[in-house]
Chains A and B, each alone.
With several copies, the nearest count.
Chain A
Amino acid sequence: MRRAIEAWLRLAAGRIHEHAPELSALDAAIGDGDHGTNLDRGFGAIVATLDEGTIPTTDSDLDDAVVTLRTAGKRLISTVGGAAGPLYGTAFLRASAALAAAGDAAPGAKFVAALDAAVGGISGLGKATAGEKTMLDALIPALDAARSALAAGAESGAVLGAAADAAAAGAAATIPLLATKGRASYLGERSIGHQDPGATSAALLLRALADAAGPDPAG
């Protein structure tokens, strides 16, 4: 599982790097134009840490996965800055803790537990709820979809796919929303008509997760 997480983090870093200009451009429209650069710096730092090979391994794959995810969260907090740094960082820390707590649940259930914790961490720290035009508007639909898929007996790949699809739809659905949290809220009505950069990056991360786990990681 540590390897799967590491694969995801590396794939996510690549996707973020590739889409950084687009994320920053979305942020320029309703924020300050740094979201792509910020996340790129953070995921670059995660990859550098992975490359160093300094994250300790044990004989428990779950423990190693938990530590890897926690390290990634700390790296995000230490390097991203802005709103997204603490929010994504906290999300990763909470997901890591949830993973540890989930023990030997099935992969799909573990994912749902981790995503649930991540969403809780973000909404707790950022004091935001659904519909405020933030990353939560990708993540909450993703959580709902994943939960439904799991309840419907889907296997883990399908659960991840459902989450990624819902996140992408959720991100697109932020366009007509009025921002009431974060920098975009300063614009009032003028925030309407633009896709939220944080929701967009959240969808990218979940798509990378589905792809990293799926048959075609390059997809």
Chain B
Amino acid sequence: METVIDRKVHAMKKLINRVEDIVPEALQGLGAAHPDVVKIDLPNSNVLRAGGPKAGKVALVSGGGSGHEPLHGGFVGLGMLDAACAGAIFTSPVPDQMEAATRAVDGGAGVLHIVKNYTGDVLNFQLAAELVAGEIEVATVVTNDDVAVQDSLYTAGRRGVGGTVLLEKIAGAHAEAGGSLADVTATAVKVNANARSMGLALTSGIVPAAGTPNFDLGDDEVEVGIGIHGEPGRRREKLAPVSDLAEWLVGPIVDDLALKRGDSVLAFVNGMGGTPLIELYVAYNSVATILSGKGISIGRSLVGSYITSLEMAGFSVTLLRLDDDLVRWWDAPVHTAALRWAV
């Protein structure tokens, strides 16, 4: 028998037609499945809230590369986003579409741009804000909750990951309730300040245009500290029981947030796209056990694949320190393709 190299390159097998049609077809599919919730601006590759713009309501616009579904288009609707700009897969959208989205949803009360901290996203949203300057009041919040990245002079800063989902829900609720642009922005900033995340991958996703995995992992390896764009992580470890994996993620988050006994958190266990729900619940069980061991109570939770990286297998943990206000906004009605309650 011959020795075969351990690293197997997974073939690209996807439910797609032409590679260049993935994003527009996915948007059309979203629009066809949820005509009561969203309308699709196909030329601009934007998802808009059905029935918008809402006069007098602060509008929330987010966006980013595609491949993270349901983020962001699946979060457009009552109590969350007013528009989401979809870029090419893993590529920030461009200023033109952000400008179009901003103009489409402006209800006269200003627009909040929710931007995940990646150089591309930040720069494109920055150019977009310049394009409407003087016409529409735009505030920007940049999410940077990923503790896997050192926030130092030597990096582009922490990435925006799972905390973005929570922020969009919570700030969206505040906006729906009539908060001013300053208030909604303050709530968004507060969520970002109190949320931290970290993720790991069991397998790499495959960018369709490339056709091969972004990184190759051995059969017994995990990539710890990955982002959502198939970037390699900070370190590689041997595969371990999920109770260990959960420790690797929860520990740094708890430290960074300086969570202490008696604190209450929203615990969000997120699948990376290729991980089935049964595993996410097993992972959530480990996370809950770890937190309870630290005397941290879980006030609210979210388990599912909400910010993904194509078909990557793996999970991320996000913890958000809760207070009464945040709980109230979290519980408020939301009606989007991916999150819905109380309505």
Contact = CB atoms under 8 A, between A and B. Distances in A.
A and B touch in the complex (CB under 8 A): yes
Contact of B90 (A33, A126, A181): A33
Contacts of A78: 94-96
Interface stretch (A24-32, A98-106, A141-149): A24-32
A190 B224 CA distance: 13
A183 interface: yes
A144 B329 CA distance: 55
Interface string B118-157: 1110011011000000000000000000001110011110
Interface in B207-258: 207, 209-210, 214-215, 227, 229-232, 234
Given A33-B214, A78-B95, A81-B87, A185 B120 contact: no
A11 B118 CA distance: 31
B231 A82 contact: no
A130 interface: no
Contacts of A81: 65, 87-88, 91-94, 120, 124
B72 interface: no
A24 B210 CA distance: 7
A49 interface: no
A125 B230 CA distance: 25
Contact of A34 (B123, B127, B207): B207
A37 interface: yes
A161 interface: no
Of the four ranges (under 10, 10 to 19, 20 to 34, 35 or more), the interface on chain B belongs to 35 or more
A26 to B, nearest CB: 12
B97 to A, nearest CB: 9
Interface stretch (A50-58, A83-91, A167-175): A83-91
B159 interface: yes
Contacts of A87: 123
A23 to B, nearest CB: 11
Given A77-B127, A183-B229, A34 B95 contact: no
B154 A34 contact: no
A183 B154 contact: no
Nearest to A185: B155
B89 interface: yes
A193 interface: no
Contact of A186 (B91, B126, B231): B231
A181 B149 contact: no
A32 B68 CA distance: 13
Contacts of A82: 65, 87, 91-92, 120
A30 B231 CA distance: 7
A187 B226 CA distance: 9
Contacts of B87: 81-82
B156 to A, nearest CB: 5
Nearest to A125: B123
Given A78-B96, A183-B231, A190-B232, A38 B119 contact: no
Contacts of B153: 180
Interface string B73-105: 000000000000001111111111000000000
Contact of B119 (A77, A79, A83): A83
A61 to B, nearest CB: 29
Given A37-B88, A84-B120, 5 more contacts: A24-B210, A33-B210, A83-B92, A188-B154, A190-B232
7 contacts: A30-B231, A38-B88, A38-B91, A77-B94, A83-B92, A180-B153, A190-B234
